[in-house]
């Protein structure tokens, strides 16, 4: 559980960094994301999950 909390904390730091450093660019990027079709977002999410799973697998090996 301790490792899990550390991982979640690191994800939150990495996710929050662009909003802190480039808030105006993140607003513009979010507006572009809102215009994307749902299918594209689903494919992007699937690719990210598969890549994340691969990284976890490589890290645990």
Asked whether the beta carbons of 18 and 26 are under 8 A apart, the reply is yes
> What is the C-alpha to C-alpha distance for residues 55 and 38, in angstroms, rounded to an integer?
26
Q: Where are the alpha helices (DSSP H) in the chain?
A: 2-21, 23-35, 38-60
Q: How many structural domains does the chain have?
A: 1
Q: What is the pLDDT of residue 5?
A: 94
Residues whose CB is less than 8 angstroms from the CB of residue 26 and which lie 6 or more positions away in sequence, other chains included: 18, 19
In which domain, by residue range, is 36 found?
A: 2-60
Q: Is the pTM of this model over 0.85?
A: no
Read off the pLDDT of residues 6-55 as tens digits, 9 standing for 90 and up.
999 999 999 999 999 999 999 999 999 999 999 999 999 999 999 999 99
């Amino acid at each position: 559980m301790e490792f899990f909390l550390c991982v979640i904390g690191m994800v939150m730091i990495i996710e929050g960094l662009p909003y802190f450093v480039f808030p105006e660019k993140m607003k513009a990027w979010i507006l572009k994301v809102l215009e994307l079709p749902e299918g594209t977002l689903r494919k992007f999410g699937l690719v990210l999950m598969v890549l994340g799973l691969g990284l976890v697998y490589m890290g645990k090996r």
